[in-house]
Amino acid sequence: MQITFDQTELRYGAHVALQPLTLSLNEPRIGVIGLNGSGKTSFARLLAGLVKPSAGRVTLDGFDTVADEKAVRGKTGFIFQNPGNQIILPIIRDDVGLGPKTQGLTGAALETAVTAALNRFGIGHLAGRRPHELSGGELQLAALAAVVINQPDLILFDEPTNQLDLRNRALVKAAIEGLPEQAVIISHDLDLVADFPRVLVFDQGALACDAPGIEAIARYRDIAGC
């Protein structure tokens, strides 16, 4: 997918959350790093069409996130920092099947789709479980299954390994690495994005660096003073 920011700016009153940004992205894995309040979350929310730019535009394969909102939503999926907030039904299989069910899929076809989505991430055995019974990594994978079942072209992750232990972090990292879909990952986990072909570093609402993972991380460390 071709992602384009064209003089895109985001303001909240007098506060500039993202300074005018122009760039094009088409890499399979794109990392987004920066200090808290640097503009990386604003970047992601603009990309997902969750907020409208104050100036300029954002397009995904030519579809404008404002003028073509429905088409953009169909092309993108978003995994929240706390995936428990987006798993809304009490049983995992029901939550994963919610999207296609609202689109009219029923019966055996729905069950097959749900099973395939869960098995894709090795969590088919969790189908009948409740969200509070899952580990943090399992919740991330369940939320991811609920997103990929809708066949997005692009998946955005907000801090996918935040507060995960080593085992669950490894589960989530492997799932991200294995995605055929394009992915944009916002993260403070520098090791997660170190091998990415492209990593964006934001600082005070501006793009401070656009480079491969190792180079971008070095720039981020300069900004952070560590």
Other C-beta atoms lying within 10 Å of the C-beta of residue 24: 10
Give me the residue spans of the domains in the chain.
Answer: 3-89+152-224
Per-residue pLDDT band for 82 (boundaries 50, 70, 90) equals confident
> Amino acid letter at 36?
N
- Tracing tokens 């394009």 back to the chain, one arrives at 182
Q: How far, CA to CA in Å, does 51 sit from each of 38, 55, 85, 125, 204?
A: 17, 12, 19, 37, 19
Residue 84 has pLDDT above 90, yes or no: no
> In degrees rounded to 5, what are phi and psi of residue 50?
-80, -25
Output the CATH code of domain 3-89+152-224.
3.40.50.300
Q: How far, CA to CA in Å, does 144 sit from each of 9, 27, 64, 181?
A: 29, 20, 25, 12
Dist. CA 100–CA 60, nearest whole Å: 23
Other C-beta atoms lying within 10 Å of the C-beta of residue 101: 14
Residue 85 has pLDDT above 90, yes or no: no
Average pLDDT over all residues of the chain? 94
Q: How many CA atoms lie within 13 A of 51 on its CB side?
A: 17
Instruction: Report the SS3 class of residue 14.
Output: coil
* Tens-place pLDDT, residues 92-107: 999 999 999 998 989 9
Q: Give the pLDDT confidence score for residue 80 in this predicted structure.
A: 87
> Amino acid letter at 127?
A
Dist. CA 220–CA 158, nearest whole Å: 18
* Tens-place pLDDT, residues 164-218: 999 999 999 999 999 999 999 999 999 999 999 999 999 999 999 999 999 999 9
Locate 97 and state its tokens.
Answer: 């099947």
Q: Give the pLDDT confidence score for residue 166 in this predicted structure.
A: 92
Q: How far, CA to CA in Å, does 105 sit from each of 91, 98, 115, 149, 156?
A: 18, 9, 14, 12, 25
Dist. CA 4–CA 7, nearest whole Å: 10
* Tens-place pLDDT, residues 4-33: 999 999 999 999 999 999 999 999 999 999
